């Protein structure tokens, strides 16, 4: 038995997308990708909650303007080729 759309609660609507708000350099850690180990599976891109990973020449590239340093990309990478390193103050 299906559920009528009229009975479903309204989904929350984000006021801004993560691409509207730049992070700057306030993150504590930032991801660094080792291209030698990367198999271009794009798992990091799929799991990034801030849409901060772009694909350039088939490789994932972190856009630090939007990366919050959460480490999800590093945690989800099956080859463990993304390391979280301490963010230097700029």
Choice between 2 and 39, residue whose per-residue pLDDT is larger: 39
Residue 35 is assigned to a structural domain of this protein: yes
Q: What is the pLDDT of residue 10?
A: 58
Residue 2 has pLDDT above 70, yes or no: no
Residue 10 is assigned to a structural domain of this protein: no
Residue 45 phi, psi (nearest 5): -65, -40
Q: What is the pLDDT of residues 5-35, one digit of tens each?
A: 456 555 555 555 555 677 766 789 999 999 9
Residue 22 is assigned to a structural domain of this protein: no
Residue 55 is assigned to a structural domain of this protein: yes
Q: What is the pLDDT of residues 45-89, one digit of tens each?
A: 999 998 999 999 999 999 999 999 999 999 999 999 999 999 876
Residue 12 is assigned to a structural domain of this protein: no
**pLDDT level of residue 1 (50, 70, 90 thresholds):** very low
Compute the distance between CA of residue 72 and CA of residue 86 in angstroms, rounded to an integer: 15
Residue 88 is assigned to a structural domain of this protein: yes
Residue 78 belongs to domain with CATH number:
3.30.70.20
Residue 3 is assigned to a structural domain of this protein: no
User: Sign of the C-alpha dihedral, residues 64, 45, 28, 87?
Assistant: negative
SS3 74: helix
Domain that holds residue 84: 29-90
Q: What is the pLDDT of residue 56?
A: 95
Q: Write down how long the chain is.
A: 90
Domain total of the chain: 1
- Measuring CA to CA, which residue among 82, 83, 79 is closest to residue 41? 79
Compute the distance between CA of residue 14 and CA of residue 22 in angstroms, rounded to an integer: 16
């Amino acid at each position: 038995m299906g559920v009528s759309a009229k009975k479903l609660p309204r989904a929350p609507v984000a006021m801004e997308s993560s691409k509207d708000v730049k992070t700057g350099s306030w993150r504590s850690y930032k991801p660094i990708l080792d291209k030698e180990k990367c198999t271009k599976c794009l798992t990091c891109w799929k799991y990034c909650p801030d849409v901060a990973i772009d694909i350039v020449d088939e490789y994932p590239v972190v856009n630090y303007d939007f990366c919050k340093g959460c480490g999800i990309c590093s945690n989800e990478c099956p080859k463990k080729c993304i390391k979280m390193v301490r963010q230097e103050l700029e």
